[in-house]
Amino acid sequence: MIPRYTNPEMGKIWKEQSKFDYWLRVEKAVSKAQAELGIIPEKASQDIIELAQFDIKKIDEIEEKTHHDVIAFLTNVSSYIGENSKYLHYGLTSSDVVDTALSLQMLDSVAIIVRKVKNLTLVLKKQAVKYKDVVMVGRTHGIHAEPITLGFKFAVWVFEMQRNLGRLEQARENIAYGKISGAVGTYANTIPQVEEKVCKTLKLAPSPASTQILQRDRHAQMLSAIAICGATLEKIALEVRGLQKTDTKEIEEPFAQGQKGSSAMPHKRNPILCERICGLARILRSNLIVSLENIALWHERDISHSSAERVIIPDSFILLDYILDKTIFVVENLNVRQDNMMRNLMKYGGIIFSQRVLLELIGKGMLREDAYAVVQDAALKAWDEEGSFKENLLKEKNILKYFTKDEIEGLFDVKYHLKHIDEIIERVKKV
């Protein structure tokens, strides 16, 4: 991923230096296990553990000739070990090292993601409680529906982030596997006990059955969890964008001192962070498609997945890490315009109370179809003429047969619609 969207902590895990560090960590664990089992001499294991190192520049030079990165790596590492280098990578295939190391990289990466998901959940939870009584209009199809509160909106996101956390943790469990089972996974030139010892050292579980590779459904599950989490962040960002529109202006993303919105129009205050979150979330979903296609490989494996994974796996972790930070910043620092919320809420004289009026008329004995017609007529007249729904009702003789004017006024009490919000917020507090 380009530096613009890479946080240092996550980016470090996916640098070339770190990749080879993970590879060498696996090779050392293998040599230790093999020595303990009497497969290689103890002195060979000691030399590998104590002397092995690498030079990325030299690895690159060797790979220009070999066109095989693992062989280039092993050739360079061997040059530091001496005679006992013949026991390096003994009985292994490249994917034993690469896939086991990749699991370690993904585990270290998802630990960062999980930490930030928990942080975002906490921020959303605080905002849900803070704004639990801030009334605004709820919208369906982009059209005014019924009253909600801003805190309720945050509450919905709290529970969705909890589900994202669960998906990430389940994916973490299924990627926490290694394999040291040889060229087609049958342990032909090694033994299962080596795999068991190596995985125990690395705090992984041995794959119960693998081909030359760990099966890619494991990786696809992780990228699925990442993509879904990204989609939630996009959902939050999209809502901010929608509510920041000039004609709505109910909440706004932070706008820094000295920030410029447009090279042409000085008045512009654009939701650029939220737009960036939405754009990068699309990449996460496209990466998932590639990961799903990597599951089906020829026979015991081909290498078509490898090139794609060099891009999609690092980029997915790096991007989710980045947009989590941006979402946390936006949610923590939202500019909430409560006066505009109230203005928009009562637009057209309270058409958002149409369902309550409908139900009350039915309760008074009017047939549903008749009640719907008279309420709709009053509401659409307010909509088309930018008038007042309440005033239209007060002029309607068929309404006044069932209600006094004071009773009609009472139907426009926003508290009626919000009487259960506190119950939802109490659920949030338990998260």
Q: Which of 371, 369, 395 is nearest to 382 (CA)?
A: 395
User: Where in the chain are all domains bearing CATH 1.10.40.30?
Assistant: 351-411
Catalytic residue among 141, 267, 299, 420: 141
Q: Is 67 a catalytic residue?
A: no
Give the integer Cα–Cα distance in Å for 351 and 361: 16
Give the integer Cα–Cα distance in Å for 13 and 55: 18
Catalytic residue among 68, 262, 286, 304: 262
Cβ partners under 8 Å of residue 422, min gap 6:
132
Residues 253/239, Cβ–Cβ less than 8 Å = no
User: Where in the chain are all domains bearing CATH 1.20.200.10?
Assistant: 92-250+262-339
Q: Is 79 a catalytic residue?
A: no
Helix (H) or strand (E) holding 255: none
Task: Say if domain 351-411 classifies as CATH 3.30.365.10.
Answer: no
Helix (H) or strand (E) holding 149: strand 143-149
Give the integer Cα–Cα distance in Å for 17 and 12: 8
Cβ partners under 8 Å of residue 412, min gap 6:
350, 353, 390
| Domain at 92-250+262-339, CATH homologous superfamily | Fumarase/aspartase (Central domain) (1.20.200.10)
User: Where in the chain are all domains bearing CATH 1.10.275.10?
Assistant: 1-90
pTM of the model: 0.94
Give the integer Cα–Cα distance in Å for 334 and 328: 10
* Structural domain 1-90, CATH architecture: Orthogonal Bundle (1.10)
Give the integer Cα–Cα distance in Å for 331 and 154: 9
Give the integer Cα–Cα distance in Å for 39 and 33: 9
Structure tokens at 320: 């989710």
pLDDT one digit per residue (tens) for the chain, 431 residues = 899 999 999 999 999 999 999 999 999 999 999 999 999 999 999 999 999 999 999 999 999 999 999 999 999 999 999 999 999 999 999 999 999 999 999 999 999 999 999 999 999 999 999 999 999 999 999 999 999 999 999 999 999 999 999 999 999 999 999 999 999 999 999 999 999 999 999 999 999 999 999 999 999 999 999 999 999 999 999 999 999 999 999 999 998 788 887 788 888 889 999 999 999 999 999 999 999 999 999 999 999 999 999 999 999 999 999 999 999 999 999 999 999 999 999 999 999 999 999 999 999 999 999 999 999 999 999 999 889 999 999 998 888 989 999 999 999 999 999 999 999 999 999 99
Mark out the alpha helices in 67-149 (DSSP H runs). 69-81, 94-130
Cβ partners under 8 Å of residue 190, min gap 6:
39, 91, 92, 180, 181, 182
Residues 411/360, Cβ–Cβ less than 8 Å = yes
Give the integer Cα–Cα distance in Å for 142 and 113: 32
